[in-house]
Structure 1
Amino acid sequence: MDEPPVRPRRGPLRTADAARESGYSPQQVRDLERLGVIPPAARSDNGYRCYTAAHVHALRSYRGLAAAVGPVAARAMLPELRTATLTEAASAVSALHVRLAREREEALRAQEALLAVRAEAGESAFARESDAMTITELAGALGVRPSALRFWEQEGLLTPERVTSLRARRYGLPAIRTARIVAALRSAGYGVPEVRDIVGSLDGLAGFEETRRLLGDRLDRIAARSVALLRVGADLAAVVMAEQQPPQG
């Protein structure tokens, strides 16, 4: 996606000008103002909206945040970030980078698990007891709640080993590897029926290749979101500093 010029034009901007410099349509600019995503525009004597460079920076910030975290989350975040201090805004964006890094790490681990599933064949019989995890340990490693693992089991996505007289769940290496694949696909938005079909077909070459393609697509999307978030930085800093400037006059 091509980015608009870096420096917005100085002076009052018409709606069409703000739209052109931010990459939105005039109606989208008006809608984002109505939703409170960007500050209200001043009005000229004849009633027309007068936007500024700060509005263009805010529009670009929203564009980047929407690409990184989705439009709903971006609409909630940007009004708060506009009134934050520069340190607070930087901290919020850093937290998003950390979240994306964790998503990337989990997708990479899922790729490694997929390759291990393909290569292990009969090796599971030689897995050590020390390699197994409890439900709490596995949930912590995946960054999900134990209830998610129970739900996956209920839906046929994951099969734990059951040990001890209390039938406490324990997960051996094959189950741990499958859980990593399930976690990555679920976080990518795939529904339970799709994931069930994918997990059920992992033993076949077609299922293996399709899963590898899906995980590759997941990593590509995370990379695109990370780049979008990097591009937010300068525009968001300009928005925050503009909000902190005392009104003229």
Structure 2
Amino acid sequence: MSLHRGLRTIDVARRVGCSVQHLRDLERDGVIPPAARTPSGYRSWSAVHVRSAVAYRELTQAVGPVRAKELLQALHDQPLAAFLAMLDDAHAQLARERRDLQAAREAVASIAAEPLGEPRPSDAMTISELAEALGTTPATLRHWEAEGLLAPDREGSGRIRTYSAVQVRDARVVHQLRIAGHPIPQLRAVLRQLLDPGVSGEALHTAFRVRDQQLTRRSHALLRAAPALTDVLASKQSLIGPDGGHQDVDWSGERWTGPVGPGQPARVWSALGGGGQDPVDDGGGDGLGGQSAEAVEDLGQGE
């Protein structure tokens, strides 16, 4: 029994919601396994390819395309423990970003509430002093200035930058919000409000709310990737034996079984399994290339 249902490239691309060329690029980069080939040389895809591409789509939203590629490449080529360690890191990164957001929210509220008092020349800081106090670099402070976030005074013939107490406060706010992942355009509105006490803090609240929504969407995407990753992993574990060779499987009525023991539920294997269909080419059209409608719909779960 063939484990390739003969899905065409166009079929998989439509199911995943990407272009045919993008699918070929994913194959080239090792994000999805190499497609089988018909005697005439056309690609013939299976459910494993669909689920790999779906997982990549969701992981891209969660961790970005570079990290998503690394995760899928590890899933296909690395030991299980190595892949799971990378997946744990992805979850941990999102958790760190949530903690950073909460810390920034608390820090900015505290900084904004600090009384500034009357400015004194002795309170001013040089760019090197401020960079050291913040744990950043003078180049970063100059970049913030170029972006309109900071406006230090200039003194002396060399036009040396100095930062007043108010400017130091602004730099502290920018630093905290940048750590929490806020984009620079968003910070301009926040700083305008800090400079005008008569204006409500709506921009600041909006900045935190938008960032929180971004993290929620990314976490949700990581969760949506889980079913596809699980199915791909199931196929890898059940089809590759201890010696790395292909394992024959048989249908027992409820589960597929083989030399490596009971396989995965029929839902997974019916999507991965054969039916003796001949592969079809990469051309257009709406055909399912031998894939049953039920199996294809099953592949769409969690998309």
Q: Same fold (TM over 0.5)?
A: yes
CA distance in 1, matches of 2:104, 2:76: 37
Contact 2:193 2:203 in 1 (8 A): no
**CA deviation after TM superposition for structure 1 residue 51, in Å:** 0.6
- Kindly tell me: are residues 51 and 207 of structure 1, through their superposed partners in 2, closer, same or farther at Cα, counting changes over 3 Å? farther
Structure 1 segments of 4 or more deviating over 4 A?
134-139, 156-159, 173-178
Deviations 1:53-93 (A, max 9, x none): 11111101111110111123322432123212222222211
Measured against aligned partners, the alpha-carbon deviations of 1:137-159 in whole angstroms (never above 9, x if no partner) come to 964xxxxxx43xx4444445579
Residues 182, 207 of structure 2: 8 Å contact kept: no
- Alpha-carbon distance in 1 for matches of 2:21, 2:42: 14
1:177-196 to 2 correspondences below 5 Å: 179-184=175-180, 187-190=181-184, 195=187
Partner of 1:231: 224
Gapped runs of 5+ residues in structure 1? Answer: 1-8, 126-133, 140-145, 160-170
Kept in 1, the 8 Å contact 2:71–2:83? The answer is no
Q: Deviations over 1:79-123 (max 9, x none)?
A: 1232122222222111111111111111122222333344x252x
Task: Quickly say closer, same or farther: Cα 1:136–1:81, change in 2 above 3 A.
Answer: farther
Note the residue ranges of structure 2 that are not aligned, 5 or more in a row: 118-129, 152-164, 249-303
Establish whether residue 101 from structure 1 lines up as the match of residue 98 from structure 2.
no
The structure 2 residue matched to 1:113, chosen from 101, 107, 114, is 107
Which gives a bigger RCO, structure 1 or 2 (Cα 8 Å, sep 6+)?
2
Larger-gyration structure (1/2): 2
Distance 1:40 1:209 in 2: 51
Measured in 2, the distance between the counterparts of 1:88 and 1:158 equals: 44
TM-score of the superposition, structure 2-length normalised?
0.57
Distance in 1 between the 2:97 and 2:38 partners?
A: 47
1:4-153, aligned counterparts within 5 Å? Answer: 11-118=5-112, 120=113, 122=115, 139=135, 146-147=136-137, 150-153=138-141
Residues in 1 aligned to 2:105 and 2:40: alpha-carbon distance in whole angstroms: 60
Question: For this pair of structures, how many residues does the alignment match?
Answer: 210
Q: Does the 8 A contact of 1:86 with 1:241 survive in 2?
A: no
In structure 1, what is the Cα distance between the partners aligned to 2:141 and 2:21? 47
Higher fraction of helix: 1
Partners of 1:100 and 1:68 lie apart in 2 by 9
Change (3 A) 1:137 1:95: farther
